[in-house]
């Protein structure tokens, strides 16, 4: 977000503090000391000064710029979705694990040639699990019976998979194949 003539407010996912808003002074000037170190999807080591309302970025050193992501519009879109999900998910309590998950996703996205949507689905599923929204996938979530070798469906109104005898007749459930479950 722009701030004044030459500054910007930058949103940062930190390892210990969660999401931080900090001011990057002079970043919009052509001779900025930050250069490309504060670009979107860049993993950097930052030194901050704690201000009254906002922290101030004093120094930035790039660890991984994830350059190849910025060269492919599809990858930029998926990286934007992942970062937006992190920002909206209130990750303060598990910020180190969220940062590691995001870095894992960005590394995979940078290397990937195809299967980008599946990579995003994996990221979303792991983020939901990190936030405590993990569906029950090994037993029926209603009766507790094992699901191996049986017909089952995913109940969107419940907490996960349900066996054939417990399957609700509502439209909030859908049949799942064994290969889909493995994926």
pLDDT digits (tens, 9 = 90+) for 54-113: 999 999 999 999 999 999 999 999 999 999 999 888 776 668 999 999 999 999 999 999
Using an 8 Å Cβ cutoff, are 161 and 155 in contact? yes
How many other β-carbons are positioned within 10 Å of the β-carbon of residue 158? 17
Per-residue tokens: 134: 């993990």
Using an 8 Å Cβ cutoff, are 16 and 28 in contact? no
pLDDT at 93 (0 to 100): 61
Q: How far apart are CA 127 and CA 150, in angstroms?
A: 29
- Residues 6 or more apart from 30 whose CB is under 8 A from it? none
pLDDT (mean) for 153-178: 75
What's the farthest any 2 CA atoms get from each other in the chain? 68
pLDDT (mean) for 156-170: 74
pLDDT at 104 (0 to 100): 96
Which of these, 40, 34, 99, lies nearest to 65 by C-alpha position?
40
Q: Sort 97 into a burial class: Cβ within 10 Å, 0-12 / 13-18 / 19+.
A: middle
Which of these, 161, 75, 158, 152, lies nearest to 113 by C-alpha position?
75
The pTM score is 0.77
pLDDT digits (tens, 9 = 90+) for 14-52: 988 888 999 999 999 988 888 789 999 999 999 999 988
Share of the chain above pLDDT 70, in %: 93
pLDDT at 142 (0 to 100): 82
pLDDT at 101 (0 to 100): 95
């Amino acid at each position: 977000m722009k701030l004044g003539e030459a500054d910007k407010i930058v949103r940062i996912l930190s390892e210990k503090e969660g999401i931080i808003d900090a001011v990057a002074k002079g970043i919009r000037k052509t001779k900025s000391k930050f250069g490309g170190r504060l670009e979107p999807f860049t993993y950097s080591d930052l030194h901050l000064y704690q201000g009254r309302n906002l922290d101030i970025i004093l120094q930035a050193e790039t660890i991984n710029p994830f350059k190849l992501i910025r060269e492919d519009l599809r990858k930029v879109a998926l990286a934007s979705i992942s970062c937006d999900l992190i920002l909206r998910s209130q990750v303060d309590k598990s910020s180190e694990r969220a940062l590691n998950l995001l870095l894992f996703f960005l590394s995979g996205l940078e290397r990937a040639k195809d299967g980008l949507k599946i990579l995003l689905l994996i990221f979303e599923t792991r983020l939901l699990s990190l936030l405590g929204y993990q569906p029950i996938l090994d037993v029926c979530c209603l009766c507790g019976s094992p699901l191996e070798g049986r017909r089952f469906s995913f109940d969107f109104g419940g907490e996960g998979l349900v066996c054939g005898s417990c399957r609700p007749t509502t439209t909030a459930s859908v049949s799942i194949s064994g290969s889909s479950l493995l994926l």
